[in-house]
């Protein structure tokens, strides 16, 4: 009986030593590389390293002092009233689509909140039309009309990382001033003679935007994004910047329209320009 108890005691003691050795992680002197000598400890260390890596890769807006973002988007413009002003001329192509680029600089006011300004350029695809003067001799004119907008805005953006991913989402709201630049490039023909001239206009109005982005981490401090939103921007009138003068060969110069002239349609109604519309595109951000 005593021999049996002795054998059981030795067996239990051996199992305890083996179990303790299996779960322990040996200590190493400071400055040495850690070595995991058992399967259980290796699994624990691997899981801990993986968890740490996920946390380190998760975007954290609170750790960034600033963000510089450049977006390039396709946009629409609500130019119905401007299109109505040139309607009836044949052939005629109205405004519709546009491209816009925006450069946004934001500074962290608190975790996940960035405040700052932005500047951009919205290029509308040109409208075109032709018309006759109706005088004798007749002057046939072909007009290509450009209408572009320079937004100058201030606002705020909220940015959040998506847990356990390297992606983030952000939403922003901005408001400020829009500078409209409108140009008529005119080609006029009279009894075989040709004259070309330009009428340049500018105007001011409100410009604001609501936007949202899905941000994907490219590398430390650099993200790419897919963004979309809606712009509200209307310019009630535009005024001519300088005199527009043309000359047919062998004839005296003619003043087509003078500086300060407000752009009007054939009925004398002021022509407004509405750059409001949706936009969607891609962008890149740098933040530290």
Q: What pLDDT, in 10s, does the model give residues 170-228? A: 999 999 999 999 999 999 999 999 999 999 999 999 999 999 999 999 999 999 999 99
pLDDT tens track for 96-150: 999 999 999 999 999 899 999 999 999 999 999 999 998 889 999 999 999 999 9
pLDDT tens track for 27-65: 444 444 444 445 555 555 554 444 444 334 445 555 689
Banded pLDDT at 255 (limits 50, 70, 90): very high
Domain ranges of the chain: 2-50, 62-287
DSSP string, 162-210: PTTSSEEEEEEEEEEEEEEEEEEEEEEEETTEEEEEEEEEEEEEEEEEE
pLDDT above 70 coverage of the chain, percent: 78
Whole-Å CA distances, 279 to 72, 97, 211: 9, 10, 9
CATH 2.40.160.20, applies to 62-287: yes
Angstrom distance (rounded) from CA 192 to CA 27: 98
- Is residue 109 within 8 A of residue 115, CB to CB? The reply is yes
Provide the terminal-to-terminal Cα distance of the chain, rounded to the nearest Å: 75
- pTM, two decimal places: 0.77
Q: Which H, E and C letters describe 76-107, residue by residue?
A: ECCCHHHHHHHCCCCCEECCCEEEEEEEEEEE
Angstrom distance (rounded) from CA 72 to CA 228: 10
Angstrom distance (rounded) from CA 21 to CA 41: 10
Q: What are phi and psi of 93, to 5 degrees?
A: -125, 125
Q: What are phi and psi of 258, to 5 degrees?
A: -100, 165
Angstrom distance (rounded) from CA 43 to CA 49: 10
């Amino acid at each position: 009986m005593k021999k049996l108890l002795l054998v059981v005691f030795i067996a239990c003691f051996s199992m305890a030593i083996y179990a303790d050795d299996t779960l322990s992680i040996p200590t190493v002197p400071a400055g040495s590389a850690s070595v995991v000598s058992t399967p259980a400890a290796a699994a624990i260390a691997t899981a801990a390293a993986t968890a740490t890596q996920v946390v380190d890769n998760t975007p954290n807006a609170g750790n960034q002092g600033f963000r510089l973002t450049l977006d390039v988007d396709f946009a629409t413009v609500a130019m119905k009233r401007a299109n109505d002003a040139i309607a009836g001329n044949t052939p005629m192509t109205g405004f519709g689509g546009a491209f816009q680029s925006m450069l946004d600089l934001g500074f962290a006011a608190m975790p996940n909140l960035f405040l700052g300004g932005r500047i951009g350029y919205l290029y509308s695809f040109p409208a075109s039309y032709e018309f006759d003067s109706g005088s004798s001799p007749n002057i046939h004119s072909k007009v290509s009309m450009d209408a572009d907008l320079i937004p100058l805005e201030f606002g705020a953006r909220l940015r959040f990382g998506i847990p356990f991913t390297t992606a983030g989402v952000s939403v922003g709201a901005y408001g400020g001033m829009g500078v409209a630049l409108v140009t008529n490039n005119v080609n006029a023909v009279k009894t075989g003679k040709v004259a070309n001239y330009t009428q340049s206009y500018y105007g001011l109005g409100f410009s604001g935007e609501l936007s949202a982005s899905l941000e994907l981490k490219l590398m430390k401090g650099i993200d790419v994004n897919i963004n979309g939103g809606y712009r509200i921007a209307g310019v009630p009138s535009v005024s001519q910047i300088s005199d527009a003068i043309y000359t047919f060969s062998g004839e005296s110069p003619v003043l087509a329209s003078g500086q300060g002239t407000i752009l009007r349609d054939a009925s004398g109604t002021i022509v407004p320009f509405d750059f409001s519309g949706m936009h969607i595109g891609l962008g890149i951000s740098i933040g530290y």
